Amino acid sequence: MRKVVIDTNVIVAAAVSSHGKSVEIMQLVEDRVIQLYVCPGIMTEYKRVLGYKWLKIDPFDQSEILRQIRKVSTSINPPKSTIRMSDESDRIFYDTAKAVNADLITHNIKHFPRKSRFVMRPHDYISKIESNKK
């Protein structure tokens, strides 16, 4: 089974829309086609961002999203890397993906080191999955 770490921006995109590649990725996680990995810091980040008032995500829906993620994900405590990051808050996603050799799915690939071939946009990840089915 493919391993993934999903950046908060993908979780939010799936939460506020009923279609798109982010929704497709979350459906693959829910269907257990891909295995989601998280760490305590990632779960804290998901909760914090889903709670932004301007996103207008119903509190019940926020709780359900987090409950579902906890249900289908594997939580680890990754070692902290020393690689230079342009956005330090993204380190937990990078470190978790590196620790389990997972793909990191994000809308903000520019926040991660350039040589990180495992970091990709939702569209690219879906294309990769579809090309491997053929």
- Give tens-digit pLDDT for 58-113: 999 999 999 999 999 999 999 999 999 989 999 999 999 999 999 999 999 999 98
Q: What average pLDDT does the segment 28-38 reach?
A: 97
Percent share of the chain, pLDDT over 70: 99
Average pLDDT, the chain: 95
Q: Hey, what long-range contacts does 64-69 have (CB within 8 A, 24 or more apart)?
A: 65/11, 65/15, 68/30, 69/11, 69/29, 69/36, 69/38, 69/43
Predicted pLDDT at 116: 81
Which domain, by its residues, includes 68?
2-133
Q: What average pLDDT does the segment 28-49 reach?
A: 97
Closest CA to 2 of 66, 67, 74: 74
Q: Record the tokens describing residue 116, joined without a space.
A: 């990180």
Q: What is the CATH number of the domain that holds 65?
A: 3.40.50.1010
- Can you say how many angstroms the Cα of residue 107 is from the centroid of all Cα atoms in its chain? 10
Closest CA to 8 of 31, 30, 33, 41: 41
pLDDT at 46 exceeding the cut of 90 = yes
Q: How many domains does the chain have?
A: 1
Q: How many residues does the chain have?
A: 134
Q: What average pLDDT does the segment 26-33 reach?
A: 96
Tell me the pTM.
0.95
114 versus 45: which is more confidently predicted? 45
**Matching residue, tokens 């950046």:** 7
pLDDT at 5 exceeding the cut of 70 = yes
Q: Model confidence at 119, in pLDDT bands (50, 70, 90)?
A: very high
Q: Please tell me the distance from the alpha carbon of residue 29 to that of residue 1, in angstroms, as a whole number.
A: 11
